[in-house]
Each structure stands twice: as C-alpha cells, then as structure tokens.
A and B are shown apart, each in its own frame.
Chain A
Amino acid sequence: EDLAAGDANAAKLIAARRKAIEDWYGWRKATERRVTQERADLGKEIVKNADEGKSEVIE
C-alpha cells in the first residue's frame, strides 16, 4: 500500500514537473516569437551572442 502511495506521489510530482516545463517553454516560445517580430519591425535584429559561432572555431 505504502509502495503504491509512493508511486502515486512520484507520478504526481513527475506530472507537475512536466507541466511546469511545458508551460515555461510555451511561454518562452511565444515571447521569443513576439520579440523577434518587434525587432524585425524596427530593423534591429539581435547581434549574435558573443560566443555563438565563435566557440566552435576555438574548439
């Protein structure tokens, strides 16, 4: 019985974590899309992050 309860709790926790992850990335994606659009509208695309593209060269 304890084991079953433990399993149920673990499953609940995992489900909650999955939902948190899903919500976060859903929000991030929507925000990134909106910000990218706003940048494009103003002709101010983001300059690539400093180490992006560069770190590959070093490694």
Chain B
Amino acid sequence: MRPILLQGHTRSLTQIKYNREGDLLFTVSKDKVCNAWYSHNGERLGTYNGHVGSVWTVDVNSASTLLVTGSADNTCKLWEVQTGKCLKTWEFKTAVKRVAFSEDDSMVLCVTEERMGFAGTITVLPVNPDVNAEQSSKPVMELVNQKGQSKAVVADWSYLDKYIISGHEDGSLCQWDWKNNKKLNTVKAHDGLISDLQMSPDRSYCITSSKDKVAKIFDIETLEEKKCFVTDTPLNSATLTPKFQEFVIVGGGQEAMDVTTTSARAGKFESRFYHKILEEEVGRVRGHFGPINTLAVHPDGKSYSSGGEDGYIRVHHFDPEYFTFKMEI
C-alpha cells in the first residue's frame, strides 16, 4: 500500500507517538507545535499551540485524555487531548528533551538539558487524571545528574514503574530506583549518544538506538544486552513490532552538515527492518529526503510511521507479504 504522507509540519520532526488504541498519532516538531492525526487516513485532528520553542518530545496517557510535551522553551506542557486546552505549564531552567507517562499514568518524567551551569535532571511530576483538577507544580522526585557524569538524553519507565531507565550522551544506560533517588546499575551500552529508547509492550525490555550506528535490546531487570543490530549509519530511532513479526525497525542517516558528498548519503534515509531474534536485516523502506528522526509502530502491528528531518511523516501500512514472511529455521 502507498504510504500516507502527513503534511502539516513546517520543520523537522522530533518525535511521534501512537496512543494506546493506535487510532491517533501525535507528532512534534521544531516548528513549535504538536499535531494530532487520525492514523488510518492521515486526517489532521488538531494542533496544540502554545510552545515558543522547538518541541522535542511528546507522550499521551493510556486513556488518550492527556498529552504531555517538552520543549526548547524550557517548559513541559500538559494538554487535554480532546480540546487542545493547555492544562498546565511546568517551567524548568533548561530545555525538556524527553517526556514519558508512567505505566500507571499518574506521573510524567521529564529529561531536562544540562546547560549554562544547570545540571541535567530527570524530573518526575505528578499528573492528576482529572482534566478539571488543579495540577501540582511540585515534583515527586528529581534525579540530578552528578558533576562529571554524562547527561541523560532519553528515559522511560519500566514495568510497574519500578525503575526509570535512562540513556546518556556517552552511550551509557542507567537503571534508577527513582523512588529513593538511587542509581542501581550502569552499563556501557553504546559508543555514542543514545538517540532513542523505547520499551517493549510489557516494559520488561527496551530497545536503544545510537549515533554509533547500532541498535540494541536490553533486559530491564539486569541491563544485560540481549540483541545487537549493526547498521552503517548513525541511528536516531529504533522501535519494536508488537505483533505478527518479531522485527525491529531502525532509522537515521548522516546529517547533511556531516557529509562531504551527496553520494555518501544515498540510500541512508531508509527505515531498516531487522529480525529481532536473529539480528539479520530483512528489508528496507525508503521515502524520506533526509534523516529519519523518529519511528513508531501502530499497537496493532499492521502499520508504522516515520518522522523525518525533511518535515514529513510517512504512515506505512504493511503489505500482505509482510504478514506471511518467514525466516528459514
């Protein structure tokens, strides 16, 4: 099937997220807005206006009632999904690079940038599910990056919100007993910045992508490396297919400023599919004119979306062959 092109953003995409049912797709961009789309036809449902800087990150709660965004304007905003109303603005000293709702939807984590003498943090904020209620400004916990440590750039919650898992600029992956502000475990996951970290549906393992051109799967409990997917281009995103196939999809591409010839860039802006267990590449999907910044799979496993540096979002519905594909074993 031909991909659906979602046109509405005027600058590069930074993150895309499906809601739990997968009928909605939320996209954020450097153009300062968040858009909501119907994922089956690409019709735009609405726009969340209010940020005054690039929006780096977005997440939606499991009831699809609340949306949270983090921006370069040093704020994190909570929105009512249905009306587009901004319910709360949390202010920080620096940009918010990543947000994520906890498994039970009662909190969001915000990864804040380290800059101008301000330490990077992973701040946990309480969220009241009632859209009419007052939202608290007081963090539940603040994990402050210690001097000399590499800052966190991505993070997410484990199953039961037992741990927060953070990915860092130097490629390390940390496991936090966040309730007690204690780092439990650190592993050197990658040789470069961890660009994305996504949880498995049951939040018991995660996939990371890195500028070191590799994506990996880690056990959340032990941080043991379970799988490794080697590519030839710096990766910006990695995601897991929840059903039908045991695949991972990775995407990235050399930034234009980092290459000297156009030929070196050819063919690097494709979504690559790997067999999750066998670690072998099984296919590629092209389309973007620039690096792929973000990837997400529909929770029903029948389609996926990619957001690019080119400002486009492409929604791909898998062909029948996808569902019947089998590796020889």
Contacts and interface: CB of A to CB of B under 8 A. Distances in A.
B204 interface: yes
Contacts of A31: 204-205, 219, 221
Contacts of A24: 226, 246, 276-277
Is the contact region of chain B dominated by helix, strand, or loop, or is it mixed? loop
Interface residues on B, range: 20 to 34
A35 B199 CA distance: 14
Interface of A is mostly: helix
Interface string A16-59: 01101100100100011011001100101011011100010000
Contacts of A50: 20-22, 62, 299
Interface in B304-329: 327-329
Interface residues of A, number: 21
Given A35-B202, A39-B160, A21 B329 contact: yes
Contacts of A8: none
B21 A42 contact: no
Given A18-B329, A27-B226, A35-B202, A51 B160 contact: no
B329 A17 contact: yes
Nearest to A24: B277
B22 A32 contact: no
A13 B20 CA distance: 38
10 contacts: A20-B277, A21-B329, A24-B246, A24-B276, A38-B160, A38-B162, A50-B21, A50-B299, A51-B21, A51-B22
Interface of A: 14, 17-18, 20-21, 24, 27, 31-32, 34-35, 38-39, 42, 44, 46-47, 49-51, 55
Interface of B: 20-22, 62, 104, 159-160, 162, 201-202, 204-205, 219, 221, 226, 246, 276-279, 299-300, 327-329
